[in-house]
Amino acid sequence: MDENKSARRNFIKLSAMGLGGVAVAPLGSRTKETPILNASANTAGKKLNIVCVGAHPGDPEFGCGGTMAKYSDAGHAVTFLYITRGEASDPSKTFAEMAALRTKEAEVSCKVLNAKPVFAGQIDGNTELNKQKSEEATKLISSEKPDIVFTQWPVDAHPDHQVTGLLALTAWVKSGQQFDLYFYEVNTGVETMAFTPTDFVDITDVRDRKKAAMFAHKTQSPEETYNSYFKPLEDFRGLQASVKAAEAFIHFKAKADRASIIGL
Ligand SMILES: [Zn+2]
């Protein structure tokens, strides 16, 4: 059993980096040992279940829409788990009106990325991290039988983003670390903080599709958000990874994987 689990972990680790990911050396330079890998070479024909968890409609798309497009293009199943429906984002509308609008936008956006939308039913601006909500989120995530889960980095100015990151982390712990866990960033500098990436995915080829998915969220001033945050961020992460545009992640590794410092 242990052997299988270990083989599976290694397999998934490679495949998660298999979408043009760059494993970055300690000084941030790409080396011969850490090339950009390609998807088909590492998944060996296995269809992976990818779950991307976000607090609000738009978080998964803005944070990692390019990576998700690459997964779905490679034939893997992508699910977006929205913890809320973004119902509090316009004080001039009722929660029900706003939830309906933003659910529609999420559905359009998911179509662009070939993802399945799932809603956890928490309330925007009032998400909770307690025993009941953790159990609910763990159940929802587990029901998708994920090989990899992406979620928000919890060191973030927005309380809903904090809760979302920790709900997925709890699901990972409760499942016995049965899936690989990656954190993504949104509106870095204003929302996400203290984010030091471990992995980068080249999104140059799917940048326009990601943009279409982001712009489906019409109620969220997508043009302003894109120009102020995500375009410069994709450019900057691209510079770090020596490609035109990239998304960056923190791969949350099990303890055994952490003890691999060269020379020790
Ligand atoms: Zn958000």
* 161 CA distance to ligand 1 middle (Å): 6
pTM of the model: 0.85
pLDDT tens per residue across span 75-109? 999 999 999 999 999 999 999 999 999 999 999 99
The domain defined by 51-254 folds into Rossmann fold (3.40.50)
Sign of the four-CA dihedral 251, 116, 219, 53: negative
Q: What is the DSSP letter of 217?
A: -
| Dist. CA 260–CA 80, nearest whole Å | 32
* 26 CA distance to ligand 1 middle (Å): 30
pLDDT tens per residue across span 144-182? 999 999 999 999 999 999 999 999 999 999 999 999 999
* 154 CA distance to ligand 1 middle (Å): 11
* 156 CA distance to ligand 1 middle (Å): 10
Dmax over CA atoms of the chain, in Å, equals 60
* 25 CA distance to ligand 1 middle (Å): 31
* 79 CA distance to ligand 1 middle (Å): 17
* 58 CA distance to ligand 1 middle (Å): 7
Where do the structural domains in the chain lie, given as residue ranges? 51-254
Residue type, 97: E
